[in-house]
Structure 1
Amino acid sequence: MRFQLTDEQKALRAAVRDVVGRFLSAGPSWLVAARGGAAKGLSPAPAVDRGLWSALGELGVFSLRLSEAEGGAGLGLPEAVLVFEELGWALVPGPLVATHLAAGVVPGAATGEAVVAAADGSLVEWLDEADVVMPGAEGAVAMRSVDPLTPVHRVPAPARVEPVAVLLTAAEQVGTAGRVCGLAVQHARAREQFGQPIGAFQAVKHLCAQSLVRVEVARAAVYAAAVTGDAVDIAAARLLADEAAVRGARDCLQVHGGMGFTWESEVHLHLKRAWVRARRGGGGTESEELLAADLAGRAG
């Protein structure tokens, strides 16, 4: 199966990157706030960038899969996956998946006027920042998040996770994996040691090459799952995407050394975001069990 993007899909991906890029070039407010809090020895207080949220709504990110009669673009999962890969690449914070899934159900969600939070397994993200909280988050208790840009709460009764939510999360993970792979390669070319770029050393070459392989495998799996919509394909894509994002970010940190842990670098933030996403929907356990059941059924 070949995954050649259409001209329309390429234009959609470019439009999202352009909108997000304009906010990033001006200095993302969420990163500025986090750095400022860290410099003062304080825990940063994350906040949804409402300007960016509105811009994403205007672009159609949240209404993408709604029909034209409902004010959407009438597109499908393949296009949604491309969009969420870009959002993951740019480290955009906020309950993106929850708001996207609420479009057409919650007034204002489709246009970016409303921020929607929803329980995803045993966790709910951005509960305090949300304008609307979907059923299932009752009794949630605040937790300290490993990602300073993603506040989380734990819910007493794990909520059912929609396969589409799993797939879009996997797409975000692929975006992160691609970003950290690029950052590692960029640093390996620029950073010199013993009179030559560190990318000339075999150990660093292997880290970058392995990261690229994981990105391409995970991306192909996510794109395929978007085409088939099959729950088993989505489960496999989720596991590959989690591995590509987490291991890729850890290897990127290894290439950067201690610099990757500083607030001047975004590398550690990608790793922390990948960790949080990997816990959505109860972690990879449900996906593993679904794959195991499918394999056992075929063998039997």
Structure 2
Amino acid sequence: MDFQLSDDQRALRTGMRELLAGRFGRDRMRAALDGGGGGGVGGELWRELGAAGLFALRLPETAGGVGLGLPESVLVFDEVGRCLLPGPLIATQLAAGAEKGAAEGAAVVALAEAGRPVGHLAAADALLVLDGDSARVLSGGALRRLAGEAEPVRSLDPGTPLWRVGDLSAYEGEPLPDGARLRREGALLAAAEQLGSAARSLEAAVQHAGQREQFGAPIGSFQAVKHLCAGMLVRAETARTAVYAAAVTADPVEIAGAKLLADEAAVGNARDCLQVHGGMGFTWEADVHLHLKRAWLRAGQWLTAADAEEALAADLG
């Protein structure tokens, strides 16, 4: 059986990388963070992503979508994770068939999970509410009431503003079928973002190790730094294998394993990248700490490590 990417899949991945590099390169990312407001969610960039088919990627062509599948979405969100693109892109894609304007990038759908802060609430036109295995879309007056009662909280990630909300069960919305599937797919796409972040941290570490010199030699020539970079590569490629396999099978247990490995790769690689950079990696001017903070936050969304471990343990039993 051949598990190599097809020519169309490679073209999709390349096209998304070029689009993001041109529309959300490092300069724009930094300008968005320095300007506050959570990285500039919505607006022109969101509509450009909609026009490129990001949110309608998995909608059938008969409904105006692109008609692709979960593996293609994983490739796209892998690229999203590399560039620290802010915003609830996963929730918007998953709700594209239920919320008017979401498929075209004219509406932002944020994720709301019971008992957890909501990211990008101020920019949201709707919420994808997940409570156990149930799901619904909250918009209109119900969303305005919820937002009016929400309290902003300090966020670990400067690109993801957070709000503490009340009991989500008090707000009615449009029910969505198969909430358990939406949670699984969201977890897999979050794992793909973590995978992209892990790969970018590895690249940054290798680049810095080749340029930074100590004692008259690049630090990449030192055994300890070589071991750090090698460990990062193993983490990233192990996670990549699990994420890509789960995208093909859509098996709940494989998705749990993929999310667990991808979270570990993103957090572990960012930490080791910080180690390679030394003290400068913690400064605001460096991007390394941004990947670490985003990875920490993303690890607590859709499917936590504890829930993933429970799923894997239950399968063994």
TM-score with structure 1 setting the length: 0.90
Please list every run of 5 or more consecutive structure 1 residues that lacks an aligned counterpart in the other structure.
37-43
- After TM superposition, the structure 1 = structure 2 runs for residues 23-62 of structure 1, keeping only pairs within 5 Å, are 23-25=23-25, 27-28=27-28, 30-35=29-34, 44-46=36-38, 47-62=40-55
- After TM superposition, the structure 1 = structure 2 runs for residues 78-89 of structure 1, keeping only pairs within 5 Å, are 78-89=71-82
Letter in 1 for 2:119: E
Change (3 A) 1:178 1:26: closer
Aligned counterpart for 2:189 among listed residues 162, 168, 188: 168
- CA distance in 2 between counterparts of 1:258 and 1:49 reads 34
Aligned counterpart for 1:177 among listed residues 198, 215, 239: 198
Q: Tell me which residue corresponds to 2:103.
A: 110
Displacement of 1:24 in angstroms is: 3.3
The answer to whether the 8 A contact 2:256-2:303 is kept is no
Q: Tell me which residue corresponds to 1:41.
A: none
Letter in 2 for 1:19: L
Please list every run of 5 or more consecutive structure 2 residues that lacks an aligned counterpart in the other structure.
131-137, 139-145, 170-178
The answer to whether the 8 A contact 1:35-1:263 is kept is no
Q: Tell me which residue corresponds to 1:39.
A: none
What secondary structure, in the 3-state scheme, does the structure 1 residue paired with 2:255 have? Answer: helix
- After TM superposition, the structure 1 = structure 2 runs for residues 16-27 of structure 1, keeping only pairs within 5 Å, are 16-25=16-25, 27=27
Displacement of 1:156 in angstroms is: 4.9
- CA distance in 1 between counterparts of 2:227 and 2:214 reads 17
TM-score with structure 2 setting the length: 0.86
Q: Tell me which residue corresponds to 1:94.
A: 87
Deviates further, 152-161 or 174-183:
152-161
Percent identity, aligned pairs only, is 56
- CA distance in 1 between counterparts of 2:117 and 2:249 reads 28
Letter in 2 for 1:45: G
- CA distance in 2 between counterparts of 1:254 and 1:49 reads 34
Change (3 A) 1:48 1:257: same
1:131 aligns with 2:125: yes
1:144 aligns with 2:154: yes
- CA distance in 2 between counterparts of 1:26 and 1:232 reads 36
- After TM superposition, the structure 1 = structure 2 runs for residues 144-293 of structure 1, keeping only pairs within 5 Å, are 144-156=154-166, 162-281=183-302, 283-293=304-314
Structure 1 segments, 4+ long, off by >6 Å, are 158-161
- CA distance in 2 between counterparts of 1:10 and 1:158 reads 40
Displacement of 1:158 in angstroms is: 7.9
The answer to whether the 8 A contact 2:46-2:105 is kept is yes
